[in-house]
Amino acid sequence: MQSTPLVNTFKELRNQREHLKAQTLFSEYPDLHGFLQSLSALQPTAEREFLFVLDFLYIFGRKSEGTYNRFRNEIERWCLYCWQTRRKGIFDVNRSDIEAYVEFIWKPDKDCIGLSVQQRFKLQSGQFRSNEKWRPFVAKVPKSLHKKDLSSQANVDQYRPSQESLIASFTAISVLYQHAQMEEVCDKNFVPVVKKSCPYLIKEVQRKTPDTLSELQWEYVLGTTRELADEDEQFERNLFVIVCLKALYLRVSELSEHAKWRPTMSDFTKDNDGFWYLTVFGKGNKVRSVTVPEAFLEYLIRYRQYRGLPQLPSPDEDTSMLNKLRGSGNLTARQVRRIVEQSFDRAISALQKDGFQDDANHLMAATTHWLRHTGATEDAGSRPLKHLADELGHASSETTDKNYIQTNIKDRARSGAKRSI
């Protein structure tokens, strides 16, 4: 199967749809146009289906760019597989075609797998040219290998889709066919039947505990970052970021700037009883209020003093939450992650120096999201479930219970840990 990208970013999606409708796709996407032509007799069908897919992604992508990216990845693979391997349109397939696709995504052709995420198109002389390094599948290289300079040991043979990835594939394709049924483009959706009998999906009897930092690891992350800030005030921003993510249970996207939300200092508010809150724009375009612990105010004051602001925010303050050292505006999600990585790297070095090699190795695998998990897991034993669920932004307390409470797992571990051999 030829690895050729089909769909650009959401920002460029509107233009891509208009070019395809006007039959002028070759003017801006010559390689994509050439690929569609290479399908020969299937070209008219593929172009018609491709336009439907672009419209579908536009409808679902308007609400959430994250949803757009997930759906685009899965449906792009499905189109490439149908058109090239099965030589069929995506609305002409039957159950056996979907079953064959499941086998394919479980073990894709090696030339369809890359070792790094690549952009799909590169803008050259006013045209979007397909990136030859892009692949539909990516073998994830563990962060710990990068930290140890062992990333060269990774290879495409190590690729295996996670359970989350398999479920995402079924979900995206099924939603596509549900939409097509409503639009009367097709009358059948075989995906739920195939999913039910999929041999690779594993039923979760119990959910594993979320990835968190140990008490020692968090102590080092916080302590070493605070030392950096004491030595160089520019690291006050690092200190503020890691404390926000951990103490307020924030996702990176909730602290960074994006098209629909610009976090400002006025998002911190105080009520008549003296309690502080942070207004957060979260997943699903939902706004929630997170209680700010009293201990957090010390770090908020430090950070604001570094920026030359009054100790605490005012209700009408339009100052950006996370300042860029150069330029104006808030930090992007990528920049926030880079800041957290700086703190993690510093803590890893300190742990290694003090002889805590196992803790250092474990921290090498940590991601920014572990800070949210760490804060929620620590507080799960002392806060009412409903309060924790609301502040995490979970639609159901059941999600919070499964992820963070899990008393039966902890009790079972305590009773089984001291068994003799």
Q: Which residue has the higher pLDDT, 221 or 19?
A: 221
Region at 170 (left for phi over 0; alpha for psi -120 to 50; beta for the rest): alpha
Question: What average pLDDT score do residues 143-164 get?
Answer: 67
Q: Specify the pLDDT at position 75.
A: 96
Q: Specify the pLDDT at position 392.
A: 85
C-beta of residue 138 within 8 angstroms of C-beta of residue 115:
yes
**Is the confidence at residue 148, as pLDDT, over 60?**
no
Question: What residue ranges define each of the domains in the chain, with the CATH number in brackets?
Answer: 10-196 (no CATH), 215-415 (1.10.443.10)
Question: What average pLDDT score do residues 175-199 get?
Answer: 93
Question: What average pLDDT score do residues 400-410 get?
Answer: 61
Question: What average pLDDT score do residues 370-381 get?
Answer: 88
Q: What is the pLDDT of the chain when averaged over all its residues? A: 87
Q: Specify the pLDDT at position 194.
A: 94
Q: Specify the pLDDT at position 395.
A: 73
Q: What would the pLDDT profile of 327-357 be if each residue is shown by its tens digit?
A: 677 888 889 999 999 999 999 999 999 999 9
Helices vs strands, H then E, count in the chain: 19, 7
Among the residue ranges 83-97, 114-128, 145-159, the one predicted with the least confidence is 145-159
**Is the confidence at residue 283, as pLDDT, over 90?**
no
Helix residue spans in 149-296 (DSSP H): 163-182, 191-196, 215-231, 236-247, 252-255
Most confident of 81-95, 144-158, 207-221, 256-270: 81-95
In whole angstroms, what is the distance from residue 2 CA to residue 10 CA?
A: 23
Q: Specify the pLDDT at position 198.
A: 93
CB atoms within 10 A of CB 371: 29
Q: Specify the pLDDT at position 112.
A: 92
